[in-house]
Amino acid sequence: MTDYYVRQIALPVKVEGVTLPNDDGSFDIYINSRLSPARQQETLEHELRHIRRDHFYLDMPVERMERQADGEALNLVLHPPAGVVPCFSSEEAMSRWFTALCRQLRLDFPGL
């Protein structure tokens, strides 16, 4: 389980929320206090999807990450660019990445 800390602060009007990874593997989630309670909850769920999908450790265009965090299913290539080593927040995150990569490559791997 990943630790995260939620803080409500006044952000610019167009910024609903932002998440920052910490060195210890936890995350700070900042939610705009100017939003309605319902919109704050939706924004928190959006930010948590970024964490669950390991967006902070993937070399993926921000536009795609945002669409994916909004719930859109995207068919993404999971191979990192040449010279980039993928980093994972946990063994579980690495396992999900590896499983998805094997399925994408149609590899028959025990346990999938």
pLDDT average per 10 residues of sequence, the chain (112 residues) = 90 92 90 96 94 80 83 62 64 74 69 54
pTM across the whole model: 0.64
Q: What is the pLDDT of residue 55?
A: 83
Q: What is the pLDDT of residue 2?
A: 78
> Which structural domain, as residue segments, surrounds residue 48?
4-104
For residues 18, 67, 35, 10, the Cα torsion angle rounded to the nearest 10 degrees is 20
Residue 109 lies in a domain: no
Give the number of residues written for the chain.
Answer: 112
Q: What is the pLDDT of residue 84?
A: 62
Q: What is the pLDDT of residue 46?
A: 94
Q: What is the pLDDT of residue 85?
A: 61
Total domains in the fold of the chain: 1
E-assigned strand segments in 1-112 = 4-9, 17-21, 27-32
Residue 74 lies in a domain: yes
